[in-house]
């Protein structure tokens, strides 16, 4: 089944206002110059930059997303941002369950599931992240860990229109290490097989699964060409216009 690739840039906690606007304008200029690009392109800046970035890329064809959200729409949750706030600021997507959130903030599958449900209710596409650590891979637990996280993190009502899955081998994030094409395809295929059980064969066939472990211009073509890899969740390379766009141009 044909799935339109998605190239999503996760800026993480990087960029002051001027830097973020310049980066967004640079990517937007590339997008305007290639309106027939064979993929969707998304940028996910830090919360404080979302509104500025949304204005900077308006009309370019770029989508804007948040990097996390709370499971509630409002209330006494100091320091948190609700999905409706992200929507109001110009977001169409939100990254949830990133390994850095799971590790640094102790987020559980149940919390990710609640956030994803809230994102759906607010009209946002949830990018649900899953992935194994190096110890889990070395222990032969890779497929089981990803199946368990997927099952625990995916809310009822998830479908190909409101949900994207991002497989991010934790041991490959920011380390320069990358899963081999064979390793990436094995896990992506297992995720899609699990999705068949969770959302049905039709939706599983349409749902995009991104690779999120140190994708760069040098390895993007090989990874994106894999049967079950539908784009990338890009970290470091998304902070450089030329590198990020070089990845996007590998979509066929």
Predicted confidence (pLDDT) at residue 232 exceeds the cutoff of 90: yes
Predicted confidence (pLDDT) at residue 235 exceeds the cutoff of 90: yes
Residues belonging to the active site: 98, 168
Query: What would the two tokens of residue 233 be?
Result: 């969740």
Does the CA dihedral 193-177-10-114 come out positive or negative?
positive
Over residues 50-86, the pLDDT tens digits come to: 999 999 999 999 999 999 999 999 999 999 999 999 9
The model's pTM: 0.97
Q: pLDDT value at position 2?
A: 84
Burial letters for 7-36: b for 16+ Cβ neighbours within 10 Å, e otherwise?
Answer: bbbbbbebbeeeebbebbebbbebbeeeee
113 φ/ψ sector (left φ>0, alpha ψ -120 to 50, else beta):
alpha
């Amino acid at each position: 089944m044909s799935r339109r690739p998605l190239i999503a840039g996760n800026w993480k906690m990087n960029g002051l206002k001027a830097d973020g606007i310049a980066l967004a304008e640079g990517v937007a200029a590339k997008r305007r110059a290639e309106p027939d690009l064979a993929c969707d392109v998304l940028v996910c800046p830090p919360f404080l930059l979302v509104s500025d970035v949304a204005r900077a890329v308006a009309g370019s064809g770029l989508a804007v997303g948040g990097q996390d959200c709370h499971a509630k729409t409002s209330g006494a949750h100091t320091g948190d941002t609700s999905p409706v706030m992200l929507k109001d600021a110009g977001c169409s997507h939100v990254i949830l369950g990133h390994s850095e959130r799971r590790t640094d903030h102790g987020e559980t599958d149940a919390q990710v599931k609640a956030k994803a449900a809230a994102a759906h209710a607010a009209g946002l596409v949830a990018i649900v992240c899953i992935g194994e650590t190096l110890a889990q891979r070395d222990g032969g637990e890779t497929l089981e860990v990803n199946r368990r996280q997927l099952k625990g993190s995916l809310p009822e009502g998830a479908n190909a229109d409101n949900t994207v899955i991002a497989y991010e081998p934790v041991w490959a994030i920011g380390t320069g290490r990358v899963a081999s094409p064979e390793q990436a395809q094995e896990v992506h295929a297992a995720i899609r097989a699990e999705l068949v059980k969770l959302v049905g064969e039709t939706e599983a066939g349409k749902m995009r699964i991104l690779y999120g472990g140190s994708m760069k211009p040098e390895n993007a073509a090989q990874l994106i060409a894999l049967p079950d890899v539908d784009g990338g969740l890009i970290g470091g390379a998304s902070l450089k216009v030329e590198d990020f766009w070089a990845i996007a141009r590998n979509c066929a």
